[in-house]
Amino acid sequence: MHRREFIKTTALTGAICLTPSFLNASSTPTLKEPLAVYKLSWKFDLSHHSANACALWVPLPSDINGFQRLIELGDSTEAETHFESDHNRYAARTFYAHWDKSAQSKTLDLSMTLALRDRQCDFRPKRICPETLVHAREFLAPSAHIPTDGAVAKVAKIIVGGEKNPLKKARKIYDWIVANSYRDESVQGCGVGSPNAMLSQLEQDGRMGGKCLDMSALCVALMRASNIPAREVMGIRIGASRLSPAFGAGEDITKAQHCKVEFFIPNMGWIPCDPADITKLVLKEGIEKNSPRAMELANKFFGFWENNWMALNHARDFDLYPANTQGSLDSFGYPYAEVDGEYLDPFDPKSFSYTIRSAKEA
């Protein structure tokens, strides 16, 4: 058993001068809400691939000042190679394990303790470190799955119009996505995250269906096209929500992945939002999108993350470390595994043989 202790704290206070890493994203804790502490257990079993070499990459939670801190991480495995690293383009924390084809037991158990508070932006000016400003601008660039030209640029210009204030531009984009999207339960996992596919459907059908990664990716693309640094944040719901059962999860969180968004305002830092969950609220509670309840929560979710969701990383279109056989990943919100270099489907946990469970401690 290998255990790594992190600094234990219940303050989770926000930083004023922000460093350029994801570990210090701007936020203000909602102090009236108690600290939520969760114990998580990840169990993987690839032993049925008895005659094959297996490699596994598991996304781990990131520390975010004022919102989330990983207090303790433990692992148990007989893998010939296993270690934690953040050696990738986005410094996404990863646990890696590799089993030789001769290994009889190909299991990995991860345990972690995580502390969270609500992340609520107060939209007040803050002093931002120069290196943070430079780093944030990296999230203006397009990537393989996040275009900023063509249809994205055209629609962004229509939404934003002549608005110059970056915060108001971000709010226009957020409101537009909430108004024009709906949750499509037939979509696998969190969706594919293709802004062009979403806009194509809108042009054809007059509305856009998808899940959280689809709407978050479109939000990010439109913001970047409007000169606002933005990024999707992959994560998992780990407990019940105070706001609605639609936003929560039970003890088995194996299929509770959910993607949110951060965008950057130069005198405020990184601001959280969730452009997708109102579509889930409308579907699960059977209410209208223009109902007072839906509109109130849509307003709340611009600048807010609840403390029952664990942020993993903002990695999209990047290379794993150590390098996998199948090449660059679109996103890293699910465990990724290969058997003799062949990709395993993470959307089928029974075939993949993994479970994730969560229990609230406080």
Structure tokens at 23: 């570990």
Phi-psi bin for 303: left (phi > 0), alpha (psi -120 to 50), beta? Answer: left
Q: How far apart are CA 39 and CA 34, in angstroms?
A: 16
pLDDT confidence band for 350 (50 / 70 / 90): confident
pLDDT for res 2: 41
Residues in the chain: 362
Structure tokens at 76: 């148990």
Instruction: Transcribe 203-261 into DSSP letters.
Output: HHHSSEEE-HHHHHHHHHHHHHHTT--EEEEEEEE-S--SS-GGG---SB-TT-EEEEE
Is the pLDDT score of 31 beyond 50? no
Q: How far is CA 340 from the centre of its chain?
A: 29
Read off the pLDDT of residues 238-285 as tens digits, 9 standing for 90 and up: 999 999 999 999 999 999 999 999 999 999 999 999 999 999 999 999
Is the pLDDT score of 293 beyond 80? yes
| Residue type (1 letter), 354 | Y
Burial class (CB in 10 A: 0-12, 13-18, 19+), 241: middle
Domain extents in the chain: 2-117+317-360, 123-312
Percentage of residues in the chain having pLDDT higher than 70: 90
Read off the pLDDT of residues 83-95 as tens digits, 9 standing for 90 and up: 999 999 999 999 9
Map tokens 């957020």 to a residue. 174
pLDDT for res 27: 47
Phi-psi bin for 323: left (phi > 0), alpha (psi -120 to 50), beta? Answer: beta
Do the Cβ atoms of 80 and 99 come closer than 8 Å? yes
pLDDT for res 5: 33
Regarding predicted confidence, which is higher, 32 or 70? 70
pLDDT confidence band for 187 (50 / 70 / 90): very high
pLDDT confidence band for 362 (50 / 70 / 90): low
Is the pLDDT score of 6 beyond 80? no
Is the pLDDT score of 167 beyond 70? yes
Structure tokens at 226: 């409007």
CATH top-level class for 123-312? alpha beta
Average pLDDT of the chain is 90
pLDDT confidence band for 347 (50 / 70 / 90): confident
Percentage of residues in the chain having pLDDT higher than 90: 86
| Average pLDDT score over residue span 26-49 | 78
pTM to 2 decimal places? 0.90
Torsion (CA) 9, 72, 59, 101 in degrees, nearest 10: 170
Pairing state between β 107-116 and 36-45:
antiparallel
Of 301, 264, 262, 307, nearest in space to 279 by CA:
301
